[in-house]
Amino acid sequence: MIRAAGCVLWRPVAGGGGVEVALVHRPRYDDWSHPKGKLDPGETADAAARREVLEETGMRCELGPPLSTQRYPAPGGLKRVDYWLARATGGRFTPNSEVDALRWLPAGEAAARLTHLQDRLLLDEARAALGR
């Protein structure tokens, strides 16, 4: 089992205009997804989720409620990804070899941009948790 963790990262829109969700573009896969990545040896899933958000988006975050766990086949075995809803608390994005673009989008636009169905379902779950 390959263990990974990630977040549906959100921030409030200035002036009380709802929320935006962060999506990352991974050039290796040419896809748009939620920030996530593999656990380091001995690392907990929640610590990995915060670390991966920081590494992929440059954002610090506060974890909220857990979201559904995804399981799917991946090279090397079955992958399990634990997710949380997480509020961005600050930071700045810098493109890197793993993630070359970050987009903050309203949830409807984010759903249309996400490449994989399981990520759209996760976004639906996050929207319900946020009451949006």
CATH fold for the domain made of 2-130: Nucleoside Triphosphate Pyrophosphohydrolase (3.90.79)
Tell me the per-residue pLDDT of 51-67, one tens digit each, with 9 for 90 and over.
999 999 999 999 999 99
Nearest Cα residue to 106 out of 13, 1, 27: 13
**pLDDT for residue 132:** 66
Give this prediction's pTM: 0.95
Nearest Cα residue to 106 out of 126, 89, 92, 84: 126
Buried b (16+ CB within 10 A) or exposed e, 4-20: bbbbbbbbeeeeeeebb
Extents of the domains making up the chain: 2-130
* Spans in the chain with pLDDT lower than 50: none
Residue 107 CA: distances (Å) to CA of 55, 75, 95: 22, 30, 22
